[in-house]
Every structure is written in C-alpha cells, then in structure tokens.
Amino acid sequence: MKAIATPGPQTRFASYLELCKPKVVSLMVFTAIVGMLLASPGLVPWQPLLFGTLGIALAACSAAAINHVLDRRIDAQMRRTRRRPLPTGTLSETHALTFAVLLGISSMVVLVGLVNLLTALLTFTSLIGYAIIYTVFLKHATPQNIVIGGAAGAAPPVLGWTAVTGHVDAEALLLFLIIFTWTPPHFWALAIARRDEYAKVGVPMLPVTHGEQFTRLHILYYTILLVLVTLLPYLTGMSGPLYLVAALALGGGFLYHAVALLRSSAPELPMRTFAWSITYLTALFAALLADHYVF
C-alpha cells in the first residue's frame, strides 16, 4: 500500500488549492461574473455579486475536487495528471473528499441563504452533472462525452444571471449556448495532444475512437458553428457593434487555428489551438462586458 506523504502546511495548502483546478475555476467564475453584470442594466447589487460569486466558486471547487477523487487511478497513469495531489500521495482520498463535501455544503448555504433558491438548485445540478454524471458515466461511455457533459461547464453565466435576477432569461441561455458550443473544439484539441494517454487508460475520447483526422475535421465543424452562435447576441439586440467586431475577429482567429490543425499534423498545433481557445473565450466574454457598458 502506498504511503501517504506528510507535507508541510504550505505544501498542503497548495495541494488543496490544486484540487480546485484554479485555472479552470477562474474561467468559470469569470463567465459567471459576466453573466451577473450583463443581467443588470446598471450597477449590480453588491449582495448577489459578492455572495453569488462566492457560492458559485465554492461549488466549482467542490466539483473539481470530486473529479480528482473519482479520477485518481486514471490520473496516476497519465503524464498530464500524475503529479496531482492524490496520485503523488500529498493528500489522502479521505482528506480530498472531505474538502469537496465541505466546499459543496458551504456553497449551498451561501446560495440558499444569501442569494436565491433557483441559483442554488441550478448550481447543485451543474455540480452533480460534472462531478458525477460526466466523470463517472459519460467520460467512459461515449466519445461524445465532452459534448453532452459540456452542459455543466456552460452553466456559470446562467448561474450568475439568476443570482441577480432570480430567473432564467433568453439572454442567459445565449451565453450558455456559446460556452456549450465552444467546449468540444476546446477539449478535443487537448485530446488530440494527449491521445495516447487517453488510449492507455481506456477513456474513449474522440481521437481514440475515431482517429485524429476525424477529430480535426469536427473541431473545424464546431468552430464554424461557434462563430455563428456568437453572432446571436448581436442579432438579437443583446449586444452592439463593439461586441460584433470582437466576435468576428476572435472567431476568425479560432477558424485560422482550426484550419491549420486540419491541414497540418505538426505536433505543436493541438496545444496551440487549445491555448487559443482559452484566450478566445476570455476575450469574447470581456467583449460582451465592454459592449454592455459602452453602449
């Protein structure tokens, strides 16, 4: 049996922080905050802004920590994840699971008590959708795992919207649709780069089951669809010309990467496309926010 290391306080704190997948969670929280700000024509009341952000962040951290626990054996076999806290023994499964449960409970207390019940229910649903439905079932059942499971990752702007308004509006669903459409080309680019690792652990990612070229073609298809979807905020009057220019420019950049990925097998292109996709989504939501306050 593998011995559990006894790290110092700083190492242990860093390990708990790593359970939250801070880069992923920070992007989710950013889109949630944008959802809050877009939901209000003026200044957002401080209580939903502060406590809504806190509750959503805690739930996202909880879901990420549960994912660490459930994927611990797979993580130990993959080069990208084998240095995570559980495979290295920095944290025990019990400590990680306790941490996740405490975060989840704290999230629900904050959202129910200080925001509203609808936001709490939707947040809990997205937590279960990612941590359980995606990680336990979809991830191992179908190469469309990230397409279906992407609904949980697309929820944050809707959660932010409901935290301010108390209800779901069509504009919030447009924000959801953008992230939902963005998720497959974003994650499939990473899956191409890590194809051999996914194959080794038996996870049926699209490049493993259908090959890299098939995946590259579908990245292009979804990127074209994404560009079209990102025009909807302008076409519906939700956003103005500033956002439209940004959406077209950013979409053009994503299409450039997708076409390059399809035409070339250069090993650096999948991770370059993956990195661009993160920049793309961050900049797109920043453009939505800038347009909201300028126009």
Give the model confidence (pLDDT) of 56-97 as tens digits.
999 999 999 999 999 999 988 888 888 999 999 999 999 999
Look up residue 43 and give its two tokens: 């200044």
Calculate the alpha carbon distances from 87 to 19, 166, 183 in Å: 12, 41, 27
With residue 97 as reference, give the H or E element that holds it. helix 93-114
Mean pLDDT of 149-171: 95
Look up residue 254 and give its two tokens: 């994503």
Which tens digit of pLDDT belongs to each residue from 4-16?
445 555 678 889 9
Instruction: Please tell me what DSSP assigns to residue 6.
Output: -
Nearest CA-CA partner of 152 in 280, 277, 254, 66: 66
* pLDDT for 218 beyond 60: yes
Cα separation, 24 vs 15, whole angstroms: 16
- CB neighbour list of residue 72: distance below 8 Å, 6 or more residues apart: 86, 87, 93
What pTM was estimated for this model as a whole? 0.93
Is residue 20 within 8 A of residue 65, CB to CB? The reply is yes
Long-range contacts of 262-266 (CB under 8 A, 24+ apart): 262/213, 262/216, 262/217, 262/219, 262/220, 265/212
